[in-house]
Structure 1
Amino acid sequence: MNEAHDESACETDEREQLCLYIDEALTEQGVDVIALTARHGLGRHELTDQWRNW
């Protein structure tokens, strides 16, 4: 996404807000984010890392 917009589509704060939104949305739907990430050998805040090349 960032590449398509001269590296300025999402700033750090916006990326962090998006990741928090994803975490909260999963939690509200009953997903145990800690257990999910642990099964994959990740910390809670690493859930979106593989897609964070904005």
Structure 2
Amino acid sequence: MNTQAVIAAEFGKGRMIAFGFHPEARKATQPLVKQAVLATAPENRDRPAKKPP
């Protein structure tokens, strides 16, 4: 408890996203995996990271 669920940061020349849980384990959170992959893709590096709603 009292830990971050998702952390996004710049790392070297790219971005990283770390989950403190398994988003692939539940159908409701599986879209987070796709969003994380797209957010860290090279073609999206120059765009600012989206803040969660």
Return the structure number with greater strand share.
2
Q: Name whichever structure is richer in helix by fraction.
A: 1
Higher relative contact order (CA 8 A, sep 6+): 1
Q: Calculate the TM-score normalised by the size of structure 1.
A: 0.33
TM-score of the superposed pair, with normalisation by structure 2? 0.33
Q: Give the greater-gyration-radius structure (CA).
A: 1
